[in-house]
Amino acid sequence: MSHLAIEVQNLTKSYGTVEALKGISLRVNKGEMFALLGTNGAGKSTTIEILCTLLKKSSGMVKMTDFTLDQKEHNDLIRKSIGVVFQQSLLDPKLTVYENIIHRGRIYHLSKGDLAENYQFVSSYLQLEDIQHKKYGALSGGQSVEQT
């Protein structure tokens, strides 16, 4: 088993004649802290979307832990082994806190038992009892994860 968490070699992404990524290479070892920094338009979001299997690369090699990107069974395993916090909230303001959490769990094909167990853990850890039945969009700024 490799000690690498992420390995990227000559990663490219093109949209027609526009090159969004021009041969990015990087290595991140398991347990290391890593930050991807750059100016607007540098390709940070494109790189992360490719690593998360949300966007197809044009060329290059990507490995996440021991899984190779673009092998269907590996893409599924990559998605199950990572967590992502997006810049903008992906929570639905019309759903309750409870419904949002359960919905996110269903995206990862969790069983009903796992959903219930995970919700209990999250609810207890984040002390959601008082707000779990409130619509996410009705929460105050201090209760919401998204600040405007």
How does DSSP assign 109-148, residue by residue?
A: T--HHHHHHHHHHHHHHHT-TTTTTSBGGGS-TTTSS---
Q: Does the model's pTM come out above 0.85?
A: no
Structural domain for 74, as ranges: 4-81
Is 90 exceeded by the pLDDT of residue 83?
Answer: no
Output the pLDDT for position 8: 96
* 69 and 20 assigned to the same domain: yes
104-130 average pLDDT score: 87
With b for 16 or more beta-carbon neighbours within 10 A and e for fewer, the 115-137 pattern comes to: beebbeebbeeeebeebbeeebe
CB 103 within 8 A of CB 95: yes
* 74 and 93 assigned to the same domain: no
Output the pLDDT for position 147: 39
**Edge-to-edge, what's the strand order for the sheet holding 18-29?**
18-29, 4-15, 59-64, 67-68
Is 50 exceeded by the pLDDT of residue 146?
Answer: no
Is 90 exceeded by the pLDDT of residue 45?
Answer: no
If pLDDT is split at 50, 70 and 90, which confidence band does 87 have?
low
Q: How many domains does the chain have?
A: 2
Looking at 81, 103, 131, the residue that finishes a domain is 81
* 64 and 21 assigned to the same domain: yes
Most confident of 83-92, 122-131, 134-143: 122-131
CB 136 within 8 A of CB 144: yes
Please report, for residues 95, 97, 123, 146, the alpha-carbon distance to residue 132 in angstroms, rounded to integers and kept in the order given.
Answer: 10, 5, 8, 16
* 23 and 71 assigned to the same domain: yes
**Overall size of the chain counted in residues:** 148
* 107 and 129 assigned to the same domain: yes
Looking at 81, 104, 130, the residue that finishes a domain is 81
